[in-house]
Structure 1
Amino acid sequence: MSNTQQAGAVVVHGGAGAPLDHEDGCVLAARRALAQLQANGDALDAAIAAVTAMEDDGRFNAGSGSALCLDGATIEMDASIMDTRGRLGAVACVRDVKNPVLLARAIADTPHVLLAGEGAERFARSLGMARSAPVSEHQRAQHRQIMSELAGSVPLMPGIDNRLFERFWNYKTPIQLPKSAACDTVGAVVRGPDGHFAVACSTGGSAPSLLGRVGDSPIIGSGFFAGPHGAVAASGIGEHIMRHLLARTVYGWIEDGMPLQKALERGLDLFDKEVNVGLIAVSRQEAGALCHHGMPQAKMTQR
């Protein structure tokens, strides 16, 4: 890893398909990241600062804004972190943690890389991490909209029959079917002034989804990847993203010398246009973001 001084850069996103009027939250997150980068120059700390800000926002599908599962009561969250200093951690299906990205960072200091479910929550409690905030009316309204749409004929996930969720229902309560599916994540990629790279992601999960579903966000190489040539984060429907190991695939093109924007375009070209996918990335010289159908985002560099 080069120690040559260069301009630090931050790119954050608020989720593929998330409302563009949430972009102010991305701008705030990017500013938090730049402030952290200015304070200690650590790319990972900066990426985590950005994602924590979006987890606390309440509008994004992460942290305090996470989507309710189909039972209308359960929340299952995933998060991940990775940098070029060897730090790698992820958490899956955690239910009662205010900031899953901070838990992912703590896991990076354990003998493991990924913790899930009850074990992850017990670890969070042992560290004294804050519990989740009460479910908000915003979350309940989103759930009502999804349940209403699930009863219709338009697929909430491209290529998936809505009736399959009823067929494979695995919640304790019976299904009760009476707008839009939540598949977005939040993420940040950072290039530090010392040439190190980092990525952090967090999601409140996909809606609709079966209980225990894990998407791409905590899967290394799928939703996130960082290496000596850059960092990449993906957003969208994880079941599609994971089949392409999207973040690692795009990183590989950047590593081979492909211009960053071309690598992002090629990544999106792997998917049908109806599949909403977004990407953000930083390389040694570039930074950018791209999405099929719009994605709140912010990009900032150190002056």
Structure 2
Amino acid sequence: MSNTPHAGAVVVHGGAGTSRDHEDGCVLAARRALAQLEINGDALDAAIGAVTTMEDDGRFNAGSGSVLGLDGATVEMDAAIMDTRGRLGAVACVQSVKNPVRLAHAVADTPHWLLVGEGASRFARTIGMPDAAPVTERQRTAHRKLLAQLAGSMPVMPGLDRDLIEHYWNYNTPMRLPEGVACDTVGAVVRGADGHFAVACSSGGSAPALLGRVGDAPIIGSGFFAGPEGAVAATGIGEQIVRHLLARTVYGWIADGIPLADALQRGVALFTPDIKVGLIAVSRTDAGAFSNSDMPTSKMVQR
């Protein structure tokens, strides 16, 4: 269903492969974004407000719900923001920050667009951003479950290196890694009543993954993109999403006049069904979401 041209619109997602039981968190995030639009009409402020809400929720893989690395202690987060007023900022592999999306916004005010690792964390301390909340029992439980799944994914005889066996695996069926490992993001796209667009996204990392792994969330054109014809955010397996420059590709189709719903479905169809991926977008006249797996979402339009 199309929306009135230039009416404010918000779409948020809680991550491809995330339970729809968490959709209430997306509804709250969208409501806060819409309320922010009513206050000052700024699409980026609204998008950041939505993502901050989901970072603070604790159930999504972002902010206080981010996954623990395989060491059971390290949390590495990514986030990004972009709008059609020229604001662009991102952080990657940042630690000990409560709201990475707000840090990405702060980066947009520096001479740079992307800060990573220790430099990003030091920048957060410099500008007085709050530290991350303590690791929760929910995060520890998810980590213990992951380790149990990894340990049971394939029996290994004493003296044999599991990594070497995985590297040279030559059976017709793949090695069974844990189902539903965290690789998702949260995101929001917004159209302001003034015709400007914005996108914000945040990711709590992936597990299992090497230390220092970066997905699609902070990569412009892959996990996010905003331009004069709309805004797009992607979620799913980052290593696959970046190979298609998914957000920019879908944005290009929308800009070429392909209906938004068709563009989203076409983008998801670039991937085989076993690769969880989802998209949200707003254009001048429409807003929507599409995924090949469960993905909690919420769409709201100004009246």
Name the TM-score, length of structure 1 as normaliser: 0.90
Which runs of no fewer than 5 residues in structure 1 stay unpaired?
A: 155-161, 168-178
User: Structure 1, residues 100-130: CA drift from partner, whole Å, max 9, x if none?
Assistant: 0000000000000000011111111011100
What secondary structure sits across from 1:80 in the alignment?
strand
Q: 1:151 Cα deviation (Å)? A: 2.5
**Paired AA for residue 235 in structure 1:** T
Q: 1:150 to 1:20 in 2, by over 3 A?
A: same
Q: Distance in 1 between matches of 2:214 and 2:68?
A: 14
Q: 1:259 Cα deviation (Å)? A: 0.2
Which runs of no fewer than 5 residues in structure 2 stay unpaired?
A: 155-161, 168-178
Q: Distance in 1 between matches of 2:115 and 2:164?
A: 28
Partner of 1:171: none
**Paired AA for residue 202 in structure 2:** S
| Aligned-pair Cα RMSD in Å | 1.8
Q: Distance in 2 between matches of 1:187 and 1:146?
A: 25
1:134-153 → structure 2 map (5 Å cutoff): 134-153=134-153
Q: Distance in 1 between matches of 2:218 and 2:102?
A: 13
1:1-303 → structure 2 map (5 Å cutoff): 6-153=6-153, 163=163, 180-303=180-303
Name the TM-score, length of structure 2 as normaliser: 0.90
**Paired AA for residue 50 in structure 2:** A
What secondary structure sits across from 1:106 in the alignment?
helix
**Paired AA for residue 116 in structure 1:** V
What secondary structure sits across from 1:226 in the alignment?
strand
**Paired AA for residue 144 in structure 2:** R
Q: 1:46 Cα deviation (Å)? A: 0.1
Q: Distance in 2 between matches of 1:165 and 1:145?
A: 23
Partner of 1:175: none
* Identity fraction in percent: 74
Q: Distance in 2 between matches of 1:296 and 1:76?
A: 23
User: Structure 1, residues 231-262: CA drift from partner, whole Å, max 9, x if none?
Assistant: 00000010000000000000000000000000
Query: Contact (CA 8 Å) 1:41, 1:192: kept in 2 or not?
Result: yes
Query: Contact (CA 8 Å) 1:199, 1:226: kept in 2 or not?
Result: yes
What secondary structure sits across from 1:111 in the alignment?
coil
What secondary structure sits across from 1:78 in the alignment?
strand
Q: Distance in 1 between matches of 2:296 and 2:180?
A: 16
Q: Distance in 1 between matches of 2:147 and 2:302?
A: 44
| Moved >6 Å (runs of 4+) | 164-167
Q: Distance in 1 between matches of 2:199 and 2:165?
A: 32
